[in-house]
C-alpha cells in the first residue's frame, strides 16, 4: 500500500471513504436522469455488493482519544452503543495499536462537539471503522513517541511502547506522565498498520466492557438523564393514521395538579409538569378531536402493496426472461406490518438556553436529529450540542422519527430542561413501522432438477426514502436500495428477473432490523424450497447445486456445506421433527440457518436453531455469538407472532397485550457457527435476522406438507388448519 502521500491525520481511510460514498451520491444520481433502467439495475447491483461506509470523515487522534491522569485512555465512539457490543470491539481494535492493556481503554460516546459523531445503523459500525480506529490509535502512539523523542533528544524510532509506558534513552515515562509534560502536540504521520498476523486481541473472545454497568442497574440510558431543574413533558399525538388536530379542550389539563405549561402545536398537544406522573395525568384530561379516515383498514394496506400496483422498477435481469414467464411453479408470499417495540421508548431531554440547545438522547441518528431541529426551529447547527446516551434497543426505530422538536419547544416554553418520553402506546401508534410486502415468485425447472429461470416480482412500502433527499425518489422510482435489499436472486441461474413495485402507504414506514432483506429472504428462500421439492432434490443440495463460481457464491457454498455438516442435515431426524434451511447474503456477510421444530397442539415449537455466519474477519467471537443469538430470537418473534393491523383508521396494537412477541417460552437451543471467509470484516447485527422465517416455514413443510406463505407463521398455520 502506498503511504507516501499520506496526510498527518486525514490519510488513506478518509480518501477511501469519500471514494466509496461519492459513487452512491453524486455521480450516479446525475447519470440516473439518462439511461434509467440500465443504471437502476446497475445501482441495485452496486449497492448490494458495496462495503458500507462509516460516514465519519475526521480522523485526528485528538478528536478520538484522551489520555487520562490514571494512565488510562478514553476512546470517544462516533457510533452509539445500543446493545451491539461495538464499544468492546472498538476498544479491542484500539488496543492493537496503542500498546496499552484492554482494560485500560474506556469507551464513551463522542458528542457532536467532538466533530466525529455519526449515524448508527446498517450493521456497519465495527466493520466500517476496522481500519480507521487502528489508524487513529497508531497515530496517537506515534504522536506520543514523537513528543517523548523531543523530551529526551533522541529519534522517535528509538522509542518503544509497552503497556502504557514509553521507553527510550534509558528512560521511561507513562503515557499520562508524558501528556502532563506536553502542552503543544505535533501530530505524527500515520504509520503502517500492524499486520493481522500480529493481532493480540482481534479474533479472541472478550467480555463486554459495558456489562458491569448493565448488571448493576447503573443510570446509563437516555431515560435516566437527570439535569438540575429538569421537568417532565408528555405529548399527545393523533392516535389515528394521518390524523389532523381539529380542536382541543385544554382547560382541565391547564388546571391539573403540578402542571407548569400546556402547549398546543399544529398536530400535537404538550404538557410540562413537575413530575412525569403529573404530566401524564394532565394529558389524559385533554379532549382532542382529530380529522382522519375512519374507513382505512388492514385490507387497504394489503391492497395498496400488491405486485402490479405503483411505480415499477426492474432491478435485475439476466438471460432471457421470456423463458421464465412460461413458468411451471408460481407462488405468492406476504409479510405484515411490523413494529420495533424496543424496550426503551423514544426519549429526548432538551435543554434550551437562549439560542443554544443541548440534547441528551438515546437515538441512532443524532446528526439527523440535529439537522431537523435546526431546519424546523431555526437554531444554528453549531448551537445544537448532541449528547448520545446508551440506547435501550435500536432496531432501526431510532433513526429518523423522533420527538426532539417537541422537547425543544417544551423546554423553550418553560425555560427549563424537559425530559420527554414516548409512552408505549405512542411507540406503537406514532413511531414508524416496517411496511407490509407482497412477493410473486415464478420459476421453471429443467428435467435434471436445475432452475432454468426464476422471477421475483415484489411490492413494498418505502423504507429508505426518509433517509434520502426528496429529489432522489423520482430518480430511483422505487426504494430498491433499502426496501429492495435482498430482493435480487443470488444464485447462479441463467435467466433471472427481479422487479419492484413501489407502494404508497398513508402511514410512516422505515427501517426495521434487516430492512428489506427480512421479507425478501422469506419469499426467495421459501420458493427455493418449493422448487427443490418440485424437482425432488434435497433442499440443501438443491441450493448448493445453484451456487456458481463467483467469490461470493463460493463463500455461500462453503457456509451451506458447513451448516449441513454441523447440523447433521443429511442424517435422518425424528418423525415428529421438521427441518428447514435458508441462506442470505447481506452486503458481504452470509448467514445460513437450519431450524428444527415440532408442532404441539397446533403450536409451532422450535427446538433447535443452527445459525452459521461468515462476516469476514471475526473481531470478537463472543460479541458475534451474542448478536447472532439475539437476531435469531428477534427473527423467531417476528416470524411466528408479530403483525401490525389497522382498524377504523388506527393501528390496533397499542401495547404488548395485543402485539405478541417472543418470550422465554419461545426459546430454542441456538448453536452459532462462525466462519471467516474473507480478510475484510462485514456486518453482523442484521444478516442473521433473515434466514429464520424461511427456515421455519420450510421446516413446517418438511413436517406437515403444508406450505405457509404468509407471516406470521403461527397465525398462518392456524388459518390453514381452520380452513381444512
Contacting positions for another protein (CB under 8 A): 82-85, 207-208, 210-221, 223-224, 226, 232, 257-258, 275-278, 281, 340-345, 390-395, 421, 423-424, 622, 626-627, 629-634, 637, 655-657, 661-670
Indicate the residue among 509 and 627 with the shorter CB distance to another protein: 627
Report residue 528 as a C-alpha cell. 427455493
Indicate the residue among 345 and 644 with the shorter CB distance to another protein: 345
3-state DSSP call for residue 115?
A: coil
**Total count of residues recorded for the chain:** 724
- Alpha-helical runs (H) found in 33-81: 36-49, 61-64
Supply the minimum distance, in Å, between the C-beta of residue 229 and another protein: 13
3-class SS string, 588-614: CEEEEEEEEEEEECCEEEEEEEEEEEE
Q: Which helix (H) or strand (E) holds 140?
A: helix 130-152
The helix/strand count (H/E) of the chain reads as 23, 26
- CB-based contacts of 146, cutoff 8 Å, min separation 6: 156, 186, 188
Report residue 490 as a C-alpha cell. 443470488
Supply the minimum distance, in Å, between the C-beta of residue 29 and another protein: 36
CB 233 within 8 A of CB 420: yes
Q: Widest CA span of the chain, in angstroms?
A: 88
Peptide bond into 712 cis (omega under 30): yes
Buried b (16+ CB within 10 A) or exposed e, 311-346: eebbbbbbeebeebeebebebbbbbbbbbbbbebbb
CA distances from 65 to 98, 101, 178, 313 (A): 11, 15, 15, 46
- CA-CA distance, 54 to 367, in Å (whole number)? 13
- CA-CA distance, 367 to 13, in Å (whole number)? 21
**Look-up: residue for cell 436472486?**
489
The side-by-side arrangement of strands in the sheet containing 578-586 is 578-586, 589-600, 603-614, 669-674
Indicate the residue among 571 and 665 with the shorter CB distance to another protein: 665
Supply the minimum distance, in Å, between the C-beta of residue 590 and another protein: 20
DSSP 24: I
CB 166 within 8 A of CB 172: yes
CB 653 within 8 A of CB 592: no
Indicate the residue among 118 and 685 with the shorter CB distance to another protein: 685
Supply the minimum distance, in Å, between the C-beta of residue 424 and another protein: 5
Indicate the residue among 361 and 442 with the shorter CB distance to another protein: 361
- CA-CA distance, 65 to 76, in Å (whole number)? 6
- Among 127, 146, 310, residue whose Cα is nearest residue 681: 127
Supply the minimum distance, in Å, between the C-beta of residue 434 and another protein: 14
Supply the minimum distance, in Å, between the C-beta of residue 7 and another protein: 38
Indicate the residue among 185 and 221 with the shorter CB distance to another protein: 221
Supply the minimum distance, in Å, between the C-beta of residue 141 and another protein: 30
Supply the minimum distance, in Å, between the C-beta of residue 646 and another protein: 21
- CA-CA distance, 265 to 267, in Å (whole number)? 6
Indicate the residue among 239 and 310 with the shorter CB distance to another protein: 239
CA distances from 372 to 377, 380, 428, 701 (A): 8, 11, 22, 48
Indicate the residue among 190 and 589 with the shorter CB distance to another protein: 589
Indicate the residue among 5 and 229 with the shorter CB distance to another protein: 229
Indicate the residue among 547 and 711 with the shorter CB distance to another protein: 711
- CB-based contacts of 162, cutoff 8 Å, min separation 6: 99
**Look-up: residue for cell 413501489?**
502
Supply the minimum distance, in Å, between the C-beta of residue 377 and another protein: 27
- Among 602, 504, 645, 614, residue whose Cα is nearest residue 552: 614
Supply the minimum distance, in Å, between the C-beta of residue 333 and another protein: 24
Indicate the residue among 149 and 626 with the shorter CB distance to another protein: 626
Supply the minimum distance, in Å, between the C-beta of residue 494 and another protein: 39
Indicate the residue among 154 and 622 with the shorter CB distance to another protein: 622
CB 443 within 8 A of CB 497: no
Indicate the residue among 371 and 663 with the shorter CB distance to another protein: 663
3-state DSSP call for residue 236?
A: strand
Q: How many CB atoms lie within 10 A of CB 97?
A: 21
Indicate the residue among 83 and 539 with the shorter CB distance to another protein: 83
- CB-based contacts of 467, cutoff 8 Å, min separation 6: 399, 400, 482
Supply the minimum distance, in Å, between the C-beta of residue 440 and another protein: 31
Indicate the residue among 219 and 548 with the shorter CB distance to another protein: 219
Amino acid at each position: 500500500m502506498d503511504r507516501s502521500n499520506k496526510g498527518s491525520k486525514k490519510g488513506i481511510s478518509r480518501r477511501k471513504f469519500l471514494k466509496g460514498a461519492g459513487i452512491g451520491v453524486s455521480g450516479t444520481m446525475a447519470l440516473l436522469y439518462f439511461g434509467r433502467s440500465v443504471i437502476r439495475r446497475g445501482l441495485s447491483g452496486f449497492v448490494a455488493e458495496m462495503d458500507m461506509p462509516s460516514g465519519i470523515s475526521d480522523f485526528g487522534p485528538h478528536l478520538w482519544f484522551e489520555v487520562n491522569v490514571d494512565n488510562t485512555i478514553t476512546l470517544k465512539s462516533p457510533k452509539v452503543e445500543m446493545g451491539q457490543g461495538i464499544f468492546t470491539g472498538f476498544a479491542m481494535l484500539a488496543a492493537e495499536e496503542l500498546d496499552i492493556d484492554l482494560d485500560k481503554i474506556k469507551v464513551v460516546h463522542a458528542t457532536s462537539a467532538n466533530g466525529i459523531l455519526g449515524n448508527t445503523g446498517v450493521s456497519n459500525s465495527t466493520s466500517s471503522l476496522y481500519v480507521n480506529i487502528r489508524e487513529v490509535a497508531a497515530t496517537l502512539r506515534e504522536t506520543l513517541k514523537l513528543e517523548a523523542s523531543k523530551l529526551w533528544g533522541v529519534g522517535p524510532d528509538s522509542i518503544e511502547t509497552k503497556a502504557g509506558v514509553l521507553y527510550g534513552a534509558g528512560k521511561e515515562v507513562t503515557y499520562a506522565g508524558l501528556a502532563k509534560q506536553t502542552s503543544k502536540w505535533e501530530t505524527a504521520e500515520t504509520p503502517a498498520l500492524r499486520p493481522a498476523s500480529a493481532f493480540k486481541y482481534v479474533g479472541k473472545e472478550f467480555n463486554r466492557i459495558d456489562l458491569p454497568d448493565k448488571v448493576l442497574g447503573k443510570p446509563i440510558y437516555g431515560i435516566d438523564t437527570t439535569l438540575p431543574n429538569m421537568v417532565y413533558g408528555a405529548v399527545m399525538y393523533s392516535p389515528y393514521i394521518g390524523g389532523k388536530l381539529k380542536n382541543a379542550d385544554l382547560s382541565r389539563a391547564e388546571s391539573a395538579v403540578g402542571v407548569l405549561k400546556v402547549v398546543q402545536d399544529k398536530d400535537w398537544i404538550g404538557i410540562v409538569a413537575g413530575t412525569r406522573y403529573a404530566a401524564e395525568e394532565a394529558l389524559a384530561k385533554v379532549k382532542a378531536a382529530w380529522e382522519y379516515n375512519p374507513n382505512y383498514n388492514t385490507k387497504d394496506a394489503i391492497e395498496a402493496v400488491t405486485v402490479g400496483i405503483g411505480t415499477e422498477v426492474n432491478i435485475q435481469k439476466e438471460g432471457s426472461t421470456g423463458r421464465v414467464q412460461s413458468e411451471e411453479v408460481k407462488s405468492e408470499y406476504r409479510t405484515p406490518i411490523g413494529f420495533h417495540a424496543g424496550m426503551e421508548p423514544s426519549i429526548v431531554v432538551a435543554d434550551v438556553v437562549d439560542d443554544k440547545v443541548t440534547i441528551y438522547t438515546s437515538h441512532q441518528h443524532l446528526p439527523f436529529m440535529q439537522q431537523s431541529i435546526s431546519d424546523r426551529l431555526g437554531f444554528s447547527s453549531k448551537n445544537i450540542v448532541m449528547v448520545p446516551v446508551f440506547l435501550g434497543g435500536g432496531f432501526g426505530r431510532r433513526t429518523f422519527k423522533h420527538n426532539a422538536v417537541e422537547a425543544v419547544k417544551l423546554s423553550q416554553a418553560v425555560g427549563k430542561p424537559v425530559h420527554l418520553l414516548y409512552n408505549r402506546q405512542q411507540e406503537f401508534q406514532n413511531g414508524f413501522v416496517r411496511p407490509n410486502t407482497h412477493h410473486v415468485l415464478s420459476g421453471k425447472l429443467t428435467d435434471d432438477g436445475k432452475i432454468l429461470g426464476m422471477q421475483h416480482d415484489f411490492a413494498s412500502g418505502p423504507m429508505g426514502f426518509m433517509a434520502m433527499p426528496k429529489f432522489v425518489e423520482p430518480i430511483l422510482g422505487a426504494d430498491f436500495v433499502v426496501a429492495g435489499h435482498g430482493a435480487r436472486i443470488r444464485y447462479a441461474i441463467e435467466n433471472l428477473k427481479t422487479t419492484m413495485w413501489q407502494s404508497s402507504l398513508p402511514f410512516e414506514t422505515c427501517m426495521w432490523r434487516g430492512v428489506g432483506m427480512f421479507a425478501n429472504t422469506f419469499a426467495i428462500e421459501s420458493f427455493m424450497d418449493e422448487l427443490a421439492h418440485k424437482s425432488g432434490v434435497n433442499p440443501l443440495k438443491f441450493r448448493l447445486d445453484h451456487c456458481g463460481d463467483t467469490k461470493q457464491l463460493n463463500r455461500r457454498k462453503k457456509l451451506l456445506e458447513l451448516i449441513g455438516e454441523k447440523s447433521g442435515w443429511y442424517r435422518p431426524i425424528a418423525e415428529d421433527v421438521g427441518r428447514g434451511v435458508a441462506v442470505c447474503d447481506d452486503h458481504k456477510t452470509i448467514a445460513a440457518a437450519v431450524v428444527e421444530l415440532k408442532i404441539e397442539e397446533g403450536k409451532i415449537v422450535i427446538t433447535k436453531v443452527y445459525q452459521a455466519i461468515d462476516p469476514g474477519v471475526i473481531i470478537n467471537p463472543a460479541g458475534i455469538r451474542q448478536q447472532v443469538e439475539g437476531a435469531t430470537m428477534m427473527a423467531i418473534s417476528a416470524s411466528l407472532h408479530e403483525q401490525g393491523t389497522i382498524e377504523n383508521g388506527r393501528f390496533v396494537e397499542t401495547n404488548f397485550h395485543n402485539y405478541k412477541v417472543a418470550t422465554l417460552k419461545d426459546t430454542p437451543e441456538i448453536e452459532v457457527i462462525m466462519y471467516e471467509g474473507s480478510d475484510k470484516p462485514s456486518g453482523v447485527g442484521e444478516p442473521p435476522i433473515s434466514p429464520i422465517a424461511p427456515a421455519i416455514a420450510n421446516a413446517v413443510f418438511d413436517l406437515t406438507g403444508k406450505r405457509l406463505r404468509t407471516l406470521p407463521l403461527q397465525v398462518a398455520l392456524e388459518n390453514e388448519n381452520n380452513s381444512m
